Amino acid sequence: MVEFFKQKAANSKDDILSGLTVALALVPEAVAFAFVAGVDPLVGLYAAFMIGLITSVFGGRPGMISGATGALAVVMVSLVSEGNQMGLDMVEPIQNMGLNYLFATVILAGVFQFLAGVFKFGKFVRLIPHPVMMGFVNGLAIVIFMSQLGMFPQLINWDAISFADNAIHINRESFWLADQALYTMIGLVALTMSIMYFLPKITTKIPAALMAILTVSAIVIFGGLDVSTVGSFIRDGGGAGLKGGLPTFQSQLFQLVPLNLETIKFILPYAAIIAAIGLIESLMTLNLLDEITESRGNGNRECMAQGAANIVTGFFGGMGGCAMIGQSLINVKSGGRGRLSGIIAALTLLAFILFASPLIEQVPIAALVGVMFMVVIGTFAWATFGIINKIPRADAFVIVLVTGLTVIFDLAIAVLAGVIVSALVFAWQDAKRIRARKSFREDGTKVYEIWGPLFFGSITTFNSKFDVHSDPQNVEIDFIESRVADHSGIEAISNLVDKYENAGKSIKLKHLSADCIKLLQRADARFDNVIIRDIDDPRYYVVTDNVKIE
């Protein structure tokens, strides 16, 4: 019993320290994504707090961190812009109407996500192939890396480049903008990364990321270094600061957003996209953390928690969100494996907003960039380079495809494309595996023994195995080594029987599963006289009728 409480105390300490680290890393991310979406920074921070708290308590994966994300912010840009214009076009023009449309869209997206959990759609994440997962983490690592590059002072003065007389002219004196600020930034980032790399080799009792942030912050504050901080980052983006109150219920939402067909037509596509991207990113992150922690989360529970969180954040003035892979990895690798870590991160973020905004605004951006760079190194699947020449070319292509599409477009498009390509490759390869071994009985009956799966991709090859006109009067088809996988296979069998009967020949079907027999009989009662039932008939379901994924 004593050992149990000691372990609980140790885990709680890790969760608390890890939660503090994550809270610091959440601030610039939430602010940046709010700027991307075109809304006030507090809208992003409120979303990070509310979504993070609700999913930490009720979600399907302890240790996973959720909040405002870039993948959703990109979708919200045009939503807010179009919504603002619709507000100005009203009979009584309303300023910043896009924000109210955003809240309504987030609520509707949350409803979709909650229903996805109720109807257990989260289980389908298991159908995502491993090459898609590798491409996903590689692409996401590249995206995180590229997003951090914008935090560095500008290196090149593009105004020094001009075009005249069909030639490019460069003013070499003003071309390079490298100054002390850039070198200081690079040095602080390198120091942060060094602390995170070497500290765990000395002790694991203190989260390396938190120690790195505190150390670099102390150097900047007490050394009086003139570097970019969280506060300057917010002000440069047009925000007033982190200071704010508790999230408030958006009661004006029901008066300002008209509940009519035009509103539904406007927000419905955005809500569906936000819901889909949010669920895909959350479930992919859940899958990744399952592998890292060697435990198993609940995808359907996570869908419901994400949906409930977005509904709440929409009503209380947040921009919506989903799981954040970067912060989730920081949390897990800092020792945060329980729900307490996410709860602490969310509550600490709220405390920053309410009480500690002047202190948090002094944290240098360089420290947070260094933490994210270490996340990039830990996220990227470096094993890709070692196996790319050893795996099937189709799998290698899927890895590269998903990586590229994640960088160029977004996660949802990349994953869907990867799954589709993988499925088509699998179907094509399986379609070539069907075989028919032919033999004759003493009474002259020709027997076809079918080997391999019979489904939509293999029916052409299946049909080519039979010679209706040259076959003898009696034919038997044995499916003992085959499996009818879908309705296309059932239809192919039915059509084949028709061909033999139209040619005036007798055909018998043997070793079909009970489900196949039922479907064939449902199509035509004459199959009672065609099918031979046996005690060793296989038992499986045709996927179009009864298959279940538990």
Q: Show the domains of the chain with their CATH numbers.
A: 10-159+229-383 (no CATH), 433-532 (3.30.750.24)
Q: Of 36-40, 47-51, 161-165, which gets the smallest average pLDDT?
A: 161-165
257 within 8 A of 29, measured Cβ to Cβ: no
CA atoms within 13 A on the CB side of 7: 6
Supply the mean pLDDT for the chain. 86
Query: From CA 187, how far away is CA 180, in angstroms rounded?
Result: 10
Taking only the tens place, the pLDDT of each residue in 93-106 is 888 899 999 999 99
Question: What percent of the chain is predicted at pLDDT more than 90?
Answer: 45
Taking only the tens place, the pLDDT of each residue in 301-345 is 999 999 999 999 999 999 999 998 888 988 998 888 899 999 999
| DSSP structure class, residue 68 | -
Query: From CA 405, how far away is CA 271, in angstroms rounded?
Result: 22
What pLDDT score does 109 carry?
96
| Three-state secondary-structure class, residue 241 | coil
Pick the closest to residue 109 from 265, 325, 321 (CA basis). 321
- Please give the angle made by the CA atoms of 212, 213 and 218, to the nearest 5 degrees: 100
- What are the φ/ψ torsions at residue 510 (nearest 5 degrees)? -130, 145
What pLDDT score does 447 carry?
95
Query: From CA 116, how far away is CA 276, in angstroms rounded?
Result: 10
What pLDDT score does 156 carry?
63
**Number of H-type helices and E-type strands within the chain:** 22, 9
What pLDDT score does 543 carry?
62
What pLDDT score does 392 carry?
92
Query: From CA 235, how far away is CA 233, in angstroms rounded?
Result: 6
- Please give the angle made by the CA atoms of 334, 375 and 369, to the nearest 5 degrees: 105
Find the mean pLDDT for residues 449-466: 93
Query: From CA 117, how far away is CA 95, in angstroms rounded?
Result: 36
| Three-state secondary-structure class, residue 67 | strand
What pTM does this model have? 0.73
Query: From CA 461, how far away is CA 453, in angstroms rounded?
Result: 11
Let me know how long the chain is. Answer: 550
* Greatest distance between any 2 Cα atoms in the chain: 100
Sequence-distant (≥ 6) Cβ neighbours of residue 382 within 8 angstroms: none
Q: What is the Cα gyration radius of the chain? A: 30
What pLDDT score does 549 carry?
42
77 within 8 A of 38, measured Cβ to Cβ: yes
| DSSP structure class, residue 229 | B
Taking only the tens place, the pLDDT of each residue in 343-385 is 999 999 999 889 988 888 898 989 888 888 887 888 788 989 9
Indicate whether 540 pLDDT > 80: no
117 within 8 A of 301, measured Cβ to Cβ: yes
Find the mean pLDDT for residues 77-83: 88
Q: Of 15-19, 174-178, 410-414, which gets the smallest average pLDDT?
A: 174-178
Find the mean pLDDT for residues 109-123: 92
Q: N- to C-terminal Cα distance for the chain?
A: 36
Indicate whether 218 pLDDT > 90: yes
Query: From CA 286, how far away is CA 298, in angstroms rounded?
Result: 8
Look at 107 and 549; give whichever has higher pLDDT: 107
Indicate whether 10 pLDDT > 70: no
Question: What percent of the chain is predicted at pLDDT more than 70?
Answer: 92
Indicate whether 81 pLDDT > 50: yes
Look at 475 and 515; give whichever has higher pLDDT: 475
What pLDDT score does 548 carry?
47
Task: Return the H-helix or E-strand segment holding 169.
Answer: strand 167-170
HEC string of 433-489 equals CCEEEEEECCCCCEEEEEEEEECCCCHHHHHHCCCCCCCCCEEEEEEEEEEECCHHH
What pLDDT score does 154 carry?
66
36 within 8 A of 73, measured Cβ to Cβ: yes
Structure tokens at 196: 């995170």
What pLDDT score does 125 carry?
73
CA dihedral 51, 56, 61, 62 (to 10 degrees): 150
